[in-house]
Structure 1
């Protein structure tokens, strides 16, 4: 009897411990649209593991790359619904909820990656981020450099006018349309996952993305001209959903923010180093890498596109341009 009672008590204790452990571990979903080879994924995985360590295993974060949980619009919607806890996404999507934050996509607003990172530490950024957070409840935990957006095309382009009539894939986001439309291109909003096929079968003649993306998505296989338009110094936000943020203790919030910002800094460093190497790498592969007159492109944009049509404030643009 004594043995049986001990066995029962022992088994009960094990069940209770197991139940407590299961209760203690919270499983979160972290989604993005990038390939597993890209730092946006590798550093997200690092962050997930680091958060697990720093919270003593109370959080298990599962990272879903390459549009596994949907296209970028889908995962942004998932953030609102609480079906996904963390995403990596551009401010162009945040601008759908709070238009002024999209001013960072106005062509040639940033001089280089250093200028972008300086902006993320500025009062302008804090104000725009707060506007988005007040509107949605979601939190911008970190910002990473995505890359400087360049153009690939079936034909060589040297000046803005050379784009006239070119069918160009541009994300279905107003901010990205400014440069192509100012130069007379016909824009087509094709989903990111479908761009390679669209270039291959001639649905479009050109597209624009950072060099790292051009390499990762292998666009160079179906486009032989790399045009260094450098029109947008792009970034990505690491976003935590309103529902998840509200569930975190102050201590856990601090851990999440610190780790995500560390991951963003690691990503930025990797992207900057890769971009420098890729120009030469593309030349070695026999691609035609074209330097353009950026002043000509910028002049056309400022003459033919207004801030107001995108819902941006010129004062925000001026404040960001003035950041040293």
Structure 2
């Protein structure tokens, strides 16, 4: 009988400790984290002051303008109330939902975004892996310089070069005539626009993206390659089992960021390249918003479309981050 009472008392004490201990540990952990945060701020307050201007910039130019999204649900007229004159609910969302033009530009945005993600995104990785195998530093630096210089060109200059190359008297048509074929009106045929756009993106962005991956490659321990060579691994096996896993966190972060900007296809370049003849394949959400919002003055309608695009982008970022964290173990947060 005494043994049973003792067992019951010990079980009650144990259960009581189990229910009381976690809150105590949690409070201690929070107290320690709060103290460590204050200690770090007190110790490195000079470094934290550098965050003031970026935070103020983000608040003023990124977060405060979000209040303007309210006009997606209100009737806005220039010269009237800053947040619209009266409530209309989902009227403007129903407008673009039933607008065939919107779905055309939405499909164009998806196609251009998918082509950019599937073609342009892997190329810097491939180029970085190839340059990593080059033993001549002079040749490696020359290739890097040639490939990333287009990144620093203005979009206007890039668009001008593309228009010049693809014009009827441009370099490409001169080569086509030289081989005995007829000239092609590239910028008047909608079927050619996606190829031209993706090609210009490759030329302009691949070299710059390679720099990030080359920097990530320098963090891989050379002893891993030595151990792999001792085990008899060839160059392809070393790349597959050492190099790619070594740069995987960088790859996943950049992939998540690219997925987040999936619908934000290059507005400036498309606006400078396209014309009404190319609308069937070149008109995307951003250029459509420019026409109906700024050019036509339909601010509430364009705000509703922009809010819809932002929600989709946020959903894609959160989904990609969750999938990456679950499957790969690398994520933004």
Q: TM-score, normalised by structure 1?
A: 0.24
**Could you say which structure has the higher strand fraction?**
1
Q: TM-score, normalised by structure 2?
A: 0.24
**Could you say which structure has the higher helix fraction?**
2
Task: Return the index of the structure with the highest Cα Rg.
Answer: 2
